[in-house]
Amino acid sequence: MDSMKRSLVLLILCGYTMFAAGPFLWAAMLSLRTTTEIHLDHFALPNPIHWEKYPDAWFNSNYATYFLNSVEVVVAAVVIVTLIGAMAAHCLARYRFRFNRLIYFVLFSTIIFPPQVTIISLFQILVNYGLYNSKLGLVLVYVAIQLPLTIYILESFFARIPSDLFDAARMDGYSDWEIFWRVALPIAMPAVTTAVILNFILLWNEFLFAVVLITDEDSRTLPLGIQRFLGDTQEDIGMIATGLMIAIIPVIIIYGFFSERLIQGMTAGAVK
């Protein structure tokens, strides 16, 4: 009976893996074929394999610039939102002050509403402050839209840290600033790592804010670069797939290296 249950679970996991990995494998095959070959047979294996499409997209389609812009914008936004979010979460979790829960409720309520409703307001604000069509303006927008979710993820983890640790740190002469950096943040590192990975994946693939707030060719991010292969009458499907794979590969690498910490952060219970 137990073997049948294990076989059933294994079958379900294999089926789900095929369902989840199928589109990725198909896009990977399309990235190694030309558009003409794809039109002849959408599901055929790449034969011959066109490895030259990757350097062609990188060097001849300005993908190197798009990739660097994405790295600069996303890394800067993730660093800022993680630091500010961790400090705010620690403050809301550990200190009791007036309107503490009201502030938390307001931050939490912003997660419910889709961030797209703020596009017009953000556009006007960035234009008024001279930040429209700039990477700095996009970084600030990314920080603003991801900060509530980051605080929500981290606040519950900081709240589980035993108060005895903070009392002991105060007896040792630690200031509030030192308690955060030397006690709270190291203990909460699994949750912080989870927030970093989630924010990186979401912002790396973000398209809507970037396409509205960035029009300069030299400031475009990687998702916008895929638009170069979209024509008015014909789409270069092969190069679109190649561009998608270039954008997907960094996310896969990061998840491969930090997947264990991501699972630890998402399943973390009471701090020991």
Phi, psi of 235 (to 5 degrees): -110, 135
CB 172 within 8 A of CB 83: no
Asked if residue 136 is part of any domain, the answer here is yes
Given this model, what pLDDT does residue 1 score?
A: 60
Given this model, what pLDDT does residue 142 score?
A: 95
Asked if residue 225 is part of any domain, the answer here is yes
Asked if residue 27 is part of any domain, the answer here is no
Mean pLDDT of the chain: 85
Q: Please state, for a pLDDT cut of 70, what percent of the chain lies above it.
A: 92
Q: Is the pLDDT of residue 207 over 70?
A: yes
Asked if residue 50 is part of any domain, the answer here is no
CA distance 132 to 218: 14
Given this model, what pLDDT does residue 75 score?
A: 95
Residues 138-151: tens digit of each pLDDT: 999 999 999 998 99
CA distance 212 to 245: 23
CA distance 254 to 257: 5
Structurally, the chain folds into a number of domains equal to 1
Asked if residue 171 is part of any domain, the answer here is yes
Asked if residue 94 is part of any domain, the answer here is yes
Q: Is the pLDDT of residue 27 over 80?
A: yes
Q: Is the pLDDT of residue 230 over 60?
A: yes
| Residue linked to tokens 């812009």 | 69
The CATH number covering residue 150 comes to 1.10.3720.10
Give the domain range for residue 225: 60-266
Asked if residue 174 is part of any domain, the answer here is yes
Asked if residue 23 is part of any domain, the answer here is no
CA distance 3 to 132: 61
Q: Is the pLDDT of residue 194 over 70?
A: yes
Of the two residues 112 and 34, the one the predictor is more confident about is 34
At residue 11, what is the residue type?
L
Write the DSSP symbol of residue 166: H
Of the two residues 77 and 115, the one the predictor is more confident about is 77
Our measurement of the distance from residue 8's CA atom to the centroid of its chain's CA atoms, rounded to an integer in Å, reads 33
